[in-house]
Structure 1
């Protein structure tokens, strides 16, 4: 066992461009020869050859997303000695990121993620060229960024960006390593490999080939809302780095059939593999019938937000249907006497639409929990709601009787974690007729509990 561990350490050191004393050797006149010489008396991985190391050092890899997937992927690619690493992200580091986004440190909270990540990567290996793209990936810029790289890693967490990344990669002939992770599960695919021209059936499938239609917008859950176990997303990010190394160092004869790898932390076995079909003959981007082009992407004619059925949260409700946490507390203040007994004077019902596990962590006083998943699963139709007041049509079972009562006109305010799901819930409650034709206030607390912490209660738990 000791010999095996020692051998592994030497080999990994060779790939990373370090010797057994953890010294970088890339700057020496013959770095490959030195590294090879250092491991000749140890076991050598047959797949890691001199040619492989040269390919890694000349490779240019773009990582879109410097979060839970992008951090470990970048870490291992930098350690492997990839010549150029580009990172795309417009977000800043938050303390709630740190448990899973392993390149970021507490001192960098508030700093742009790409800058924080590159700072850590340079500490790991200063020799690669690191390029920061300090903005979210946008259709008008994607092609100009992608064209400078050999391989793309999709480390994002929303469908619209996934389709944009895949489309651009196909149209520019770039292979793509795509992964996702949520809660305790993850998925991994290598797409557009080999990267053939549009219409060539021998090319690898793209994201649209695997998922021709996006999932329903109301079924999509982010890590912020659904939660994520750090080692799960870390596992998927490390596997992305591994697949990237395999793509970079492979010959044409070594390209494997496309597969979808599914990881489940609490299953046995941990991994399942599903064989994917080749390119779809009517795919909108990689087939001979393609309607998506670089021009339609860049001009905005290919509307990814519309295609995925998602709308910016600010467009869901009118201003009068929303109230800020500060305005809410001003309108419904906590009096001295009510503070003593833990109640609030004349406070309306607050519906918290987070999932129960989050509601149990912390909740506002006088709030009840109705998860957004329950609200969206209701089969009650808007057209039937005109009869609700007369009691001829039952409301969904998740709605408490006192709120559903035709006699109740007490205000209802809806809150969630970030202020997105609450807007969807407000629209749904109004569709169910709970606003009594405008006589009853049904409104959203703008910005959710994060804004509540910022505007009302600095001690509110942040998770």
Structure 2
């Protein structure tokens, strides 16, 4: 395998001391370490996968790390996003990440991109790097990364986690498959749960993020055989890693421009006005809490419906909520008694908005959904059942 980058001029005495154990590896050695020093790697997302990836890339001696993230650190991130600490809550993730990388290895330069990748900026951002590691949590960004990498000729390492499962792959147009060979079209909104809906074990992020860094080091130095043409599937409950063969699809349309992928989000928005669905009747967390009190007093006879999946409902349920998963609502949106007001909710507001549209279209006269979902409910400090 040919290395991606030319080596830097040389190593300092400090670098030789720091990377001494890595220099002992014949597949890396001084030449490989000089290639790592010269390398520029872009990490998309400073979250569950970006955290271990950035730390191990820095520890390995990658000379320049770019970090793309427009989010701020939330307390719910901390169990898996080990780049950030309690004191970082509320800070921009790119700033927290830069500080963490500096603590891990002050010899590494960090470039902060506090922005979300879009069809307008993705190609320009990606073009400044030799390699991309994508740890983003939504399909729209993954397609943007793929198309920008195709147009700029950059390989990229993809990782994904959910619950106890993970996947890793390497994509490089012209040398092997791309992300669009694995997922030709994005799933419909609400059909794929996010970590915020289904949960994730933090250590699974560490396992997958570390595997992504191994692939990055191999690509940069030319060591070993890359995952190109394979998807590595991790099942942490069974503790297995299983490779699946992936070939380019000869019928796939060529990428000619970075285009936004409409309706491809697999994460739900944060609670609050940004998470609201336009033109849909809704209730906020405080309003729903008031209605629940009224219902307990016999003054509001509404039905509260949870459209999440059974395991999500079992983990945390709003008081008195009845479970009807989204797929069942969509299959029969007229199932609800039109004489009873209806409140729908999910994890963050996306699935409940979809369910509400179907219910309203079926003729229900009095239905709303919870803006921001369970995330907004929890953010307001309100209790669940039990």
Normalising by structure 2, report the TM-score: 0.86
Corresponding residue number in structure 2 for 1:259:
230
What SS class does the counterpart of residue 140 from structure 2 fall into?
helix
Following superposition, the deviation at residue 334 of structure 1 comes to 3.2
**Cα deviations across residues 26-69 of structure 1 (Å, max 9, x unaligned)?**
x9844566678x66xx9932212111000000100000011111
2:156 to 172, 176, 182: 176
Corresponding residue number in structure 2 for 1:318:
279
What SS class does the counterpart of residue 140 from structure 1 fall into?
coil
What SS class does the counterpart of residue 185 from structure 2 fall into?
coil
**What is the distance in 2 between the residues matched to 1:309 and 1:246?**
30
Following superposition, the deviation at residue 365 of structure 1 comes to 3.1
Aligned length: 371
**What is the distance in 2 between the residues matched to 1:180 and 1:309?**
12
Following superposition, the deviation at residue 215 of structure 1 comes to 2.8
Corresponding residue number in structure 2 for 1:119:
99
Corresponding residue number in structure 1 for 2:189:
217
Corresponding residue number in structure 1 for 2:57:
77
Does the CA-based 8 Å contact 1:32-1:50 persist in structure 2?
no
**Cα deviations across residues 205-241 of structure 1 (Å, max 9, x unaligned)?**
2111222222343421111011111111211111011
1:452 to 352, 371, 377: 377
Gaps of 5+ in 2: 1-9
With over 3 angstroms needed to count, the CA separation of the structure-2 counterparts of 1:140 and 1:84, relative to structure 1, is: same
Following superposition, the deviation at residue 161 of structure 1 comes to 1.0
Q: Which has the higher contact order (CA 8 A, sep 6+)?
A: 2
Following superposition, the deviation at residue 184 of structure 1 comes to 0.9
Corresponding residue number in structure 1 for 2:339:
409
**What is the distance in 2 between the residues matched to 1:120 and 1:242?**
20
Q: CA RMSD in A?
A: 3.1
What SS class does the counterpart of residue 52 from structure 1 fall into?
helix
With over 3 angstroms needed to count, the CA separation of the structure-2 counterparts of 1:348 and 1:148, relative to structure 1, is: same
With over 3 angstroms needed to count, the CA separation of the structure-2 counterparts of 1:307 and 1:184, relative to structure 1, is: closer
Following superposition, the deviation at residue 176 of structure 1 comes to 0.4
Does the CA-based 8 Å contact 1:56-1:81 persist in structure 2?
yes
Corresponding residue number in structure 2 for 1:388:
none
Bigger radius of gyration, 1 or 2? 1
What SS class does the counterpart of residue 427 from structure 1 fall into?
helix
**What is the distance in 1 between the residues matched to 2:193 and 2:113?**
26
**What is the distance in 2 between the residues matched to 1:417 and 1:234?**
24
Following superposition, the deviation at residue 361 of structure 1 comes to 4.1
With over 3 angstroms needed to count, the CA separation of the structure-2 counterparts of 1:188 and 1:43, relative to structure 1, is: closer
With over 3 angstroms needed to count, the CA separation of the structure-2 counterparts of 1:365 and 1:317, relative to structure 1, is: same
Corresponding residue number in structure 1 for 2:293:
334
What SS class does the counterpart of residue 33 from structure 2 fall into?
helix
Correspondence list, 1:272-311, <5 A: 272-277=242-247, 279-284=248-253, 290=254, 292-293=255-256, 296-297=257-258, 302-306=259-263
**What is the distance in 2 between the residues matched to 1:351 and 1:29?**
63
1:59 to 10, 29, 39: 39
**What is the distance in 2 between the residues matched to 1:211 and 1:66?**
23
With over 3 angstroms needed to count, the CA separation of the structure-2 counterparts of 1:168 and 1:129, relative to structure 1, is: same
Correspondence list, 1:32-431, <5 A: 44-192=24-172, 196=174, 203-250=175-222, 258-267=229-238, 270-277=240-247, 279-284=248-253, 290=254, 292-293=255-256, 296-297=257-258, 302-306=259-263, 318-319=279-280, 321-329=281-289, 332=291, 334=293, 343=297, 345-376=299-330, 378=331, 380=332, 395=335, 403-404=336-337, 408-431=338-361
**What is the distance in 2 between the residues matched to 1:249 and 1:164?**
26
**What is the distance in 2 between the residues matched to 1:364 and 1:129?**
46
With over 3 angstroms needed to count, the CA separation of the structure-2 counterparts of 1:350 and 1:33, relative to structure 1, is: closer
What SS class does the counterpart of residue 271 from structure 1 fall into?
strand
**Cα deviations across residues 281-326 of structure 1 (Å, max 9, x unaligned)?**
3332xxxxx2x32xx42xxxx331157899999785524x223334
